[in-house]
Structure 1
């Protein structure tokens, strides 16, 4: 039984980490990016993901934590890619160059 308890503790920890990362990422995107992407507004996602973090920290009920996990997954799979695309490709840890960059650096048009 101790092995199962250890597994559940790791599962709770993973769900908490995922919720915290989703909350931080949602906070870092600009509010107008949510409108431009056609998603719910920034306040909605901050409230949902903030509740998810609070539930993971304070309420040890698996069904509530799974509901929060679904919200985090929806943010990562649907909302974050749309926000990244609207923001010009500037996402979490991603560095983009100019549109004229080639595989070995900027293309200068043969000059």
Structure 2
């Protein structure tokens, strides 16, 4: 009975690591190649290969030590690379002092 509970927790962790790896891969895929160079990070191809291998390992191999290595790579992408890419690309998650009615070309005044 105790092993069943442990296996359930391990399965949940495996799914969480897979979800994190897939999210990191998709975000790495969506970023521009020149943003990686401008942020002084590894190339886009490097991150796509590393995160792609992580997704494949999480899906098919299930070797815990490789999954943990992939988890570290995904965390590094989210904590270090993605914020640098967002800063270089000008994409910010926050408002940066703008109004909620600001559009891509400035404030929207309702046609007035």
Question: TM bucket by the smaller chain?
Answer: 0.7 to 0.9
Q: For residue 67 of structure 1, what is the aligned residue in structure 2?
A: 69
- 2:4 pairs, out of 2, 5, 21, with 2
Q: After superposition, what is the alpha-carbon deviation per residue over 1:31-75, rounded to whole angstroms, capped at 9, x for unaligned? A: 000000000000000000000000000111100000000000000
- 1:49 pairs, out of 51, 56, 59, with 51
Q: CA RMSD, aligned part only? A: 2.1
Q: For residue 87 of structure 2, what is the aligned residue in structure 1?
A: 85
Could you state the TM-score of these two structures normalised by the residue count of structure 2? 0.82
Secondary structure at the aligned position of 2:42 is classed as coil
Q: How many pairs are equivalent?
A: 101
Could you state the TM-score of these two structures normalised by the residue count of structure 1? 0.83
Structure 1, unmatched stretches of 5+, are 107-111
Q: Distance in 2 between matches of 1:70 and 1:59?
A: 17
Q: For residue 28 of structure 2, what is the aligned residue in structure 1?
A: 26
Structure 2, unmatched stretches of 5+, are 108-112
Give the CA deviation at 1:24.
0.1
